[in-house]
Amino acid sequence: MEYVYAALLLHKEKKEINETNISNIIKASGVEVNEAQVKALVAALADVNIDDAIKAAPVAVAAAPAAAPAAGGGAKEEKKEPETPSGKSEEEAMQGLSALFG
């Protein structure tokens, strides 16, 4: 999980998310760096728009009941997942990312 946090920190600070920067953050935290995980994370994040992924993250459970009455009325609009340049959808890229930690 510390690798994902390092990537999020780099993104927040508008720094490039690459192997060197992630390794430096992990080393600075006092944790031994697993180079395979660093490489896998950088590769998995190459096709992910982090801002969109953060916006699409599940919201708190407490907010769900407030949204439920509004969702029951109208017709559902189907949303197509945008394709990334490599042909993978963002959802597929995120699934690959979750495989690193599960």
Domains of the chain: 1-57+85-102 (1.10.10.1410)
Instruction: Measure the CA–CA gap between 34 and 85, rounded to whole angstroms.
Output: 28
Q: pTM, whole model, 2 decimals?
A: 0.56
Measured distance CA(89)–CA(94) in Å, rounded: 9
Per-residue pLDDT tens listing for the chain (102 residues): 899 999 999 999 999 999 999 999 999 999 999 999 999 999 999 989 999 988 888 865 554 455 555 555 555 555 555 554 555 566 666 666 665 555
